[in-house]
Amino acid sequence: MEFINKTILIISPEAWGISFVSKHHYAQELAKKGNKVYFLNPPSDKNELLKISDNLHVINYKNIFRGSNKLPIFLKNIVHKWQIKRIYKLIKLDKIDIIWSFDPFRFQNLNLWQATKKIYHSVDIHATDLEYEIANSADLVLANTDNILTKLKNINRPKYKINHGLAAHFLQEIGDNFELAGRPARIKVGYVGNLFMQAIDKNSCLELIKNNPNIDFYFIGANKSAENNLSTRQSSDFITELDTQNNVILLGAKPSAELPAIMQNFDLFLFCYQDNPPIIDNPHKILEYLSTGKTIVATYIDEYKDKTNLLQMCKKNSELLALFQKTVENLDYYNSNETQTLRKNYAIENTYSNQIKKIESLL
């Protein structure tokens, strides 16, 4: 099935906003292909349809019954069917061609949408049995890591691994350079992501910053609750602590299309998530880092355990500081033309356009 001239509804656990992750990029890429795409935000206090472009709309809706996941399945289906009917009425449609859900916590019976094709796409580790329920109602189950596929191995549906994607604007020629605040002669480290996220190893990150006062660390991501569309958290002591460091510059949330011009200024990138237990096996931001060609210092990422030529990765977070020091001391080596080309080529292989072609062939 080709994604052309189809009506597609994407169910996302993260709302539409300044910051983009995979769900937002898939929505944009599918709309660019000529599909009519509806992006369903998490429940809110309003019912409305927002136009993003001619082919892309965002749906806000009120939850008619909180706690439906605790109901017996037959009662839950009744509630969800009622909610779906109200959403269809809001967007003035009777049915859609494709339902594409990234959220196991809502509308687990995808059959209730009466779509021609149903996709469940797991790009995060979910500690819930609801994931089995939604996967069993799909025509196609996708996951971005081997660990998630292993978890879903008993699901009697076609299952495939699809890596995260890279938006096309990360590969386009960069226009005007973004002028960074800070000291020009110093090494610049970039971090991109949701600073409210609980998965960040805040202690290791702060230790690294405090032990390198002559290096500037730039954080791109929401640092105010008004900018935060990727989680429900509204405050963070971590952000407050970052703001007190003389070598930290908080750039705030930036639209995805603006990131390439900013990221080209960095000498290396940082990834620092908790390792006990690992919370994310394949973070979306790594492909964006790789697209610049610059090296990455990272805590353990299972997806990249056999791709150590692409980044510098420690097995335990206690090793992060030493790994960072080693990388900084040998930065010319790690940012050689050869290694930069390897990173860029890997990113190019995993554009959203390429991932969508793979999914079309599977569906």
CATH code, domain with 188: 3.40.50.2000
Segment among 90-99, 126-135, 182-191 with least mean pLDDT: 182-191
Q: Do 121 and 224 sit in the same domain of this protein?
A: no
Residue 362 lies in a domain: no
Residue 39 lies in a domain: yes
- The answer, yes or no, to whether the previous bond of 277 is cis (omega within 30 of 0) is yes
Tell me the C-alpha distance between 4 and 30, whole Å: 8
Residue 328 lies in a domain: yes
Using the 3D structure, point to which of 140, 162, 184 is the last residue of a domain.
Answer: 162
Question: Helices (DSSP H) in the chain: which residue ranges?
Answer: 22-32, 73-91, 130-136, 146-151, 202-210, 237-243, 259-263, 285-292, 320-329, 331-334, 337-349, 352-362
Residue 127 has pLDDT above 80, yes or no: yes
Using alpha carbons, list the distances in angstroms from residue 257 to 143, 194, 352, 353. 25, 16, 14, 16
What is the overall mean pLDDT for the chain? Answer: 92
C-alpha 203: how far from chain center? 23
Question: What average pLDDT does this structure show over 34-63?
Answer: 96
Residue reference for tokens 């998630």? 148
Segment among 26-35, 45-54, 276-285 with least mean pLDDT: 276-285
Confidence (pLDDT) at 277: 62
Contact 313, 301 (CB under 8 A): yes
Q: Do 137 and 214 sit in the same domain of this protein?
A: no
Contact 284, 193 (CB under 8 A): no
Residue 73 lies in a domain: yes
Residue 234 has pLDDT above 70, yes or no: no
Residue 265 lies in a domain: yes
Residue 235 has pLDDT above 70, yes or no: no
Q: Do 120 and 201 sit in the same domain of this protein?
A: no
Q: Do 100 and 186 sit in the same domain of this protein?
A: no
Residue 246 has pLDDT above 70, yes or no: yes
C-alpha 149: how far from chain center? 18
Q: Do 130 and 70 sit in the same domain of this protein?
A: yes
pLDDT digits (tens, 9 = 90+) for 296-351: 999 999 899 999 899 999 999 999 999 999 999 999 999 999 999 999 999 999 99
Residue 229 has pLDDT above 90, yes or no: no
Q: Do 154 and 199 sit in the same domain of this protein?
A: no
Confidence (pLDDT) at 135: 97
Q: Do 221 and 179 sit in the same domain of this protein?
A: yes
Q: Do 96 and 14 sit in the same domain of this protein?
A: yes
Residue 184 has pLDDT above 80, yes or no: no
Question: What average pLDDT does this structure show over 258-284?
Answer: 87
Question: What average pLDDT does this structure show over 260-270?
Answer: 94
Contact 29, 352 (CB under 8 A): yes
Residue 354 lies in a domain: no
Confidence (pLDDT) at 226: 63
Residue 123 lies in a domain: yes
Using the 3D structure, point to which of 162, 189, 220 is the last residue of a domain.
Answer: 162
Question: At 175, is the pLDDT very low, low, confident or very high (cuts 50, 70, 90)?
Answer: low
Question: What average pLDDT does this structure show over 40-52?
Answer: 96
Q: pTM of the full predicted structure?
A: 0.92
Question: What average pLDDT does this structure show over 91-110?
Answer: 96
Residue 179 has pLDDT above 80, yes or no: no
Q: Which domain holds residue 187?
A: 169-349
How far apart, in Å, do the first and last CA atoms of the chain sit? 6
The 3-state DSSP class for residue 76 equals helix
Q: How many CB atoms lie within 10 A of CB 336?
A: 13
For helices 320-329 and 202-210, give the axis angle rounded to 10 degrees. 40
Segment among 123-127, 130-134, 214-218, 232-236 with least mean pLDDT: 232-236
Q: Do 94 and 40 sit in the same domain of this protein?
A: yes
DSSP codes, 179-194: PPPS-TTS-EEEEES-
Q: Please, how many CA atoms are within 13 Å of residue 52, restricted to the half-sphere of its CB? A: 19
Question: At 125, is the pLDDT very low, low, confident or very high (cuts 50, 70, 90)?
Answer: confident
Confidence (pLDDT) at 185: 81
Using alpha carbons, list the distances in angstroms from residue 188 to 194, 214, 252, 291, 319. 19, 10, 16, 17, 21
SS3 for 237-248 is HHHHHHHCCCCE
Number of domains in the chain: 2
Q: Do 262 and 290 sit in the same domain of this protein?
A: yes
Confidence (pLDDT) at 279: 59
Using the 3D structure, point to which of 145, 162, 179 is the last residue of a domain.
Answer: 162
Question: At 37, is the pLDDT very low, low, confident or very high (cuts 50, 70, 90)?
Answer: very high
Residue 278 has pLDDT above 70, yes or no: no
Return phi, psi of residue 333, to 5°: -65, -50
Q: By CB neighbour count within 10 A (0-12 exposed, 13-18 middle, 19+ buried), where does 223 fall?
A: buried
Question: At 197, is the pLDDT very low, low, confident or very high (cuts 50, 70, 90)?
Answer: confident
Q: How many CB atoms lie within 10 A of CB 155?
A: 18
Q: Do 105 and 184 sit in the same domain of this protein?
A: no
Q: Do 144 and 75 sit in the same domain of this protein?
A: yes
User: What residues have CB less than 8 Å from 229, skipping those under 6 apart?
Assistant: 14, 15, 16, 17, 18, 19, 222
Residue 358 lies in a domain: no
